């Protein structure tokens, strides 16, 4: 039997997505749209207990109930492998392009190296096949800095529509925004918008302080 030709720039090996938490099994896009409770997703590599702490702080300090939806990629609908590979490859490329390579330059490069994209795929926990074990994920003490708005746009494409509520994504990445007065990229723990991003890479804030910033970002 002839081997299937490889697509340039995209792996042909299966994508193995994280399992959805038991509390989310059976939910549908319609359920998500009608759900008015903010949901906390977390990126691969983020400590789930820290996501639980953030949700508890948000619930305890306001009149809203916040639930933990689980690992972000578990929200991807199960479907044809080609569609999954495309979604993951697109997200990985978006994250590679979101890297801030020069802290003093607002404009970053418009191309991503193949190795960077592979590294981002590993960080998403999308590939758990044994053939990808050598693809190193991002180290916990990574010096990488990311444009928060670009990461936000990438994650937005992966998550279900928030409906009447809001999606919150917790990540261990260091997020930053461009400060025009300083002419530099500066760390930003919380990025308002859809989804609200919570980056703990360079943040020294505790769960209560992070929750206060998230509540401000969620305010209409």
pLDDT tens digits for 73-127? 877 777 777 777 888 889 999 999 999 999 999 987 788 888 898 888 888 876 5
Structural domain count of the chain: 1
In a domain, 16, yes or no: no
| Distance, CA of 20 to CA of 89 (rounded, Å) | 20
In a domain, 13, yes or no: no
Under 8 Å between Cβ of 121 and 127: yes
What's the token pair of residue 174? 């260091």
In a domain, 108, yes or no: yes
Q: Is 10 exposed, middle or buried (0-12, 13-18, 19+ CB in 10 A)?
A: middle
In a domain, 204, yes or no: yes
In a domain, 74, yes or no: yes
| Distance, CA of 116 to CA of 126 (rounded, Å) | 15
Q: Which of 51-60, 148-157, 202-211 has the lowest mean pLDDT?
A: 202-211
In a domain, 6, yes or no: no
In a domain, 3, yes or no: no
Furthest CA-CA distance within the chain: 62
DSSP β-ladder status, 174-179 and 145-147: parallel
In a domain, 102, yes or no: yes
Q: Average per-residue pLDDT in the chain?
A: 79
Q: Is 140 exposed, middle or buried (0-12, 13-18, 19+ CB in 10 A)?
A: exposed
Domain span at residue 152 reads 29-218
DSSP β-ladder status, 39-42 and 167-171: parallel
128: pLDDT confidence band, cut at 50, 70 and 90? very low
Q: Is 66 exposed, middle or buried (0-12, 13-18, 19+ CB in 10 A)?
A: buried
Under 8 Å between Cβ of 147 and 98: yes
pLDDT at 220 over 90: no
């Amino acid at each position: 039997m002839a081997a299937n030709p490889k697509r340039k720039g995209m792996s042909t090996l299966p994508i193995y997505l994280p399992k959805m938490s038991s509390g989310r099994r059976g939910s549908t896009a319609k359920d998500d749209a009608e759900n008015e409770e903010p949901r906390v997703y977390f990126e691969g590599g983020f400590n789930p207990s820290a996501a639980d702490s953030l949700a508890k702080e948000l619930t305890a300090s306001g009149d809203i109930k916040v639930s933990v939806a689980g690992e972000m990629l578990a929200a991807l609908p199960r479907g044809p492998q080609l569609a999954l590979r495309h979604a993951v490859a697109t997200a990985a490329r978006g994250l590679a392009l979101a890297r801030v390579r020069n802290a003093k330059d607002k404009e970053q490069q418009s191309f991503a190296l193949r190795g960077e994209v592979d590294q981002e795929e590993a960080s998403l926990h999308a590939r758990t096949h044994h053939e990808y074990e050598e693809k190193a994920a991002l180290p916990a003490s990574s010096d990488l800095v990311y444009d928060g708005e670009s990461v936000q746009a990438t994650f937005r494409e992966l998550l279900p529509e928030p409906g009447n509520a809001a999606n919150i994504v917790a990540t261990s990445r260091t997020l930053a925004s461009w400060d025009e007065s300083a002419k530099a990229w500066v760390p930003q723990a919380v990025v308002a918008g859809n989804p609200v991003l919570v980056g703990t890479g360079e943040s020294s804030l505790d769960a209560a302080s992070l929750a206060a910033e998230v509540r401000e970002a969620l305010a209409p």
